[in-house]
Structure 1
């Protein structure tokens, strides 16, 4: 009895296969298969097929359960007496068997990357007695792989370095991508590498993932960093394959491929002859585009017209050459030296060194400046012998000293009285002769040690001396600079140009050097650029400023001169942060900056404010008078039309010459010949002088007319009248009036119908108005 299985391999190539597992090595009947070489018939024995392996595709996406295979026993006659039983990994959950037909199905979608195969056991039993018809057999369900995983790189990003100027094909770094698919089945896990970004500088081996240089002569000084993107694609790179990418950051490491170069071909230094040995004469500088140890330089003197006078060393922190004095200088012997100095790399690269000279040369001129040296005696000591009985004022010897300078100044001699406390000796100031002031006693003192001082002095003709300038003043800002920076400013934007001044007057003219103060260099918001023409630019060092965080910056600028001894000073530039438009024009700034920009001091602002208050006060007074005059509208019909200065009397309603309304509309029409009331013209107004009385008029209401005329004359002739205009009402109508009275009413046409009793009602009101507007105090009414 045997158990058969039909397995579904899931591949169109294989189709359905019948597998049989034999028991006890059972074989079928033999059949003829031909003859051998001797003519003997050959027979082929029937053998049993091994059925113990099934294949199932992973990631099945169908709606029905996936068919795996079929079990069948030779004992199964199709009458339903045989029952098939499945046990082992996933039996009953992942895999189910139809106990009647023996069909096996997968109930879920399987992933080969989680589990590649399952081991199960199958047997056939009698459905009624449950007795095994065959022994239990083991078989394997192997999950067939599909391409469902993309390649993944082991790192992302990769970081690598390669020397600059490397040859083509220089290895940089190897990248690796792995694929979780089955590498033993098909091409699902076969990865091919390609480069997406980074051409033409680099290439990648498609099989190994090794990145190499592809362009010769890549220069770090031109471009230092590169970004390369590598793709890994499975299915051997064929269409439909899955892919993954990784970034490789490649930096070029520096090699010594650039020579040092002097910043100038000629350096000129000036030093006094009194400079001490070992002191620095000056600094020379060369620059190298390389970095690190490849930029380290060595300086040496290769030629000099003063052998052994100077030496040059290297400052390793700044890579500057320091010219040092080794022998004393003497202005009178040699006034200028010329040196040829060479610079070369301390660590030369033989590969590039052979291509050309990796060194540079420069000339250094050292000018020796004269220093006023003290006189020098011809001998270090003098011995003078004298007898003890030598008379006073006798010359016993002489000393001689001379000025070592070229000017050869006259020498004056004197005794150092600290060595001749008893004033035994003296010396002639002009010729150095030493003579006695007192008699000597050998028994009292056999030796006298005295010191003679020689000092030089200059003759001056006509009592006039020329005073030579000494560099004893430090340069400073030419003016008190104050500027602003926009909140939207960009880096390296110029905001101010500064210059300097120095009261000293060097022979070669001023040469100023500008720099940012050392203490502010680390946290500076602005930088200083020396223009080499005694001016400097103040530049921004960052993008944008915020006035709310900080509205004022103080930039310390160090200004030095080029004279000896060098003088320097630190000057502060005030920078205010302001809001600007796109063109950089200031729109809004803080109050201090606005005051400075507008040119108005605090006092000026206070004065303007005071004027505004006074104008508002006067406007209130005028309004008050208008309101009061409105009470008597029949007399003061329009106060504003009557606030005017004129020197003519009112002639009544028919007198059109006395009052011109155009004067009110155009103040410039007022006669320029009228006198100003704020100046007392003593020459024109003698004491107690009044205008002549007007011609007699008709004698109607004479008391009122006389009152008004008298007030008019007093006001017009008063030299102390106020300089401003005041309101006055002239109620007399003039000789042309039919009423010939003070009334302005024209309701009656005849003299008999005119009511003259209006004075009893309006008289007190005229008096009140006159008093109110200066009628009794002598003020001018106009």
Structure 2
């Protein structure tokens, strides 16, 4: 309905002619040519009519089941092709092409023409002869003009070259070569029409479609090697077979179907995607570890007419530990000599069907019974997988004549995929008796001994016995090793006696342990050895020692130094230490921040540069210690070190000589004053640089407290220990040694001084605690004889004074005076001020204010 009726005078085409171009197994291509238009019918006998279903690819036409072709709407006819697709008959696919042509011997009335030919189609792989006609290209202007046709572009003068040509007068498009759709699936040429060398229409692209034919068999892609574990579950994916086809993927020519050639009882393949899966759970690597499965791929969805190819899929089974190791024998027996250690006594082979050199195959042996004493060890030979049974601790035939072991063989990997379990076997080891030497029991003897025990002390007895007789008759004992020679061994009894002092702090002792080795020799000259381990018990035989006794204190710093001590004893005979200033300290120093092993020494007041000796008492936790002297040098520092002292070289050669001459003259002057100044009635001012000061006083005699003695006696210089309470700093009661006059001691409110007397006359030699400590320190340096010489000299001088009048006595003897202020920095230059200064030329290193003025006078400006 609604279609334009056929023009008058034209006869409808009732039936068209059908010719079969190609017939294959399931595909028939029919070309129907009709030289009329309107509605017409087509004889489809050769295409098959049973169950025929016909559709048209051109929406302007419809095909009925009886072959009638009708128009579906208004159509202006021209030469055109109608392709009817999907012709199904008895489930067979047919494809027919309907070609409609306008009769050339008729003058037709044109309603409208367009310069737009439809795409043309040609088959690939056409056979000669060439050229072959494809289709006529007609221009609208050909109705009014005489036109000429030309083509250009791909297929003409561009790749692919020289494929197409056109008849310049009729517009017939021809092909000259065989085309391959897999190389060119379509080619678009450009058609032009001209009249008297002038274009009549715009150039038009004409597309020639190269239709596919099934000329390419499918091909495998990728390696066809797959692995799946043995005893896997049904449906487990083994691998995927990959294949491709070069034909048109939109046609059945490229639809591939997969099929297994054999092995279908074990494996399945998906016919559409090529995935291979396990069909059973009985795949056993130990039975067969590899399968070669043929695979066929065929296009046309597997139709027999399709092209095919066959390949081989290699399927390897992976190993799981489904086979436990098994022993080759049900039991084993071996023999081992007694007293043997670290020897191989048995090799035990096993079998394992799993993959060699994997954890499923490697065996791990376990001694599950009979090795409670740890005498045995079993290893594995990595090459043969055999068990290696060793004796690691000696066996004693007299105690054990045979040993029953049970061995179990396991794998490194756990069992899976099987119900089997690990295997075990018994192993009997017979101990072989041998003639043995003496044996110490125990092999290691432990003794506890205090250090410093007296020589000759018996600390224990170490004896050996014959393993066969269990007796010690005829044994002789000797030392094999005794690094410090501390122990003697009694040859006949094995007694251990102290030969030398045992010192726990010795370098031969390790962690308070000292070892000796004892050897026993029986009557048959066989020997045996044993070890005596002596645990040395510590005693408090070491005092704390100050590590560094020479300290440096820099001016302007924190003005303190730390004293560190150590004790070789162990607790409780060592730290924490107790620190306190020693007896006779001068009060210039104090101790602070006392910790376990250290204390801080700090000046109690501002001190000038110089070297100071400080007595320090250090005691351990048990109160065992001694007094030690620490030397502290106060100096100007640079980077923590004292700067070098200025020497006299800075004065020049003339200055040094001048100072030496002045010093000699001054010494002679002092000796002269010793004899001349006694006639002088004026008082001599003396400066005391110590803690005690000589003060002015109206008393010019020896004082009421000095008692004259009619009996001459030697000069006594007594140093009395004065104890100070550590917390309160109060002086305790002073004890006077027996045999000494009471008037030799005088006590002040702050310190103790010692007075020397001779013949009832006081020497006036008052010294503070610091001076007495310096005296003791000086005496400890073997210089006491110098002080004794000075004492004799003073004795003679006092005897001389005793023969003179009282005036001379008062002039030259230092007296006690009340404190009335600080004296001159230069000190006294009296006749007695430099007595006892036995310093040699050392004073040049630290010239004091006494000689500085003389040096400046003598030095050249």
For this structure pair, what is the TM-score category when the shorter chain's length is used for normalisation?
Answer: 0.3 to 0.5
Structure possessing the higher radius of gyration over alpha carbons:
2
Taking structure 1 as the reference length, the TM-score comes to 0.43
TM-score, normalising length: structure 2: 0.39
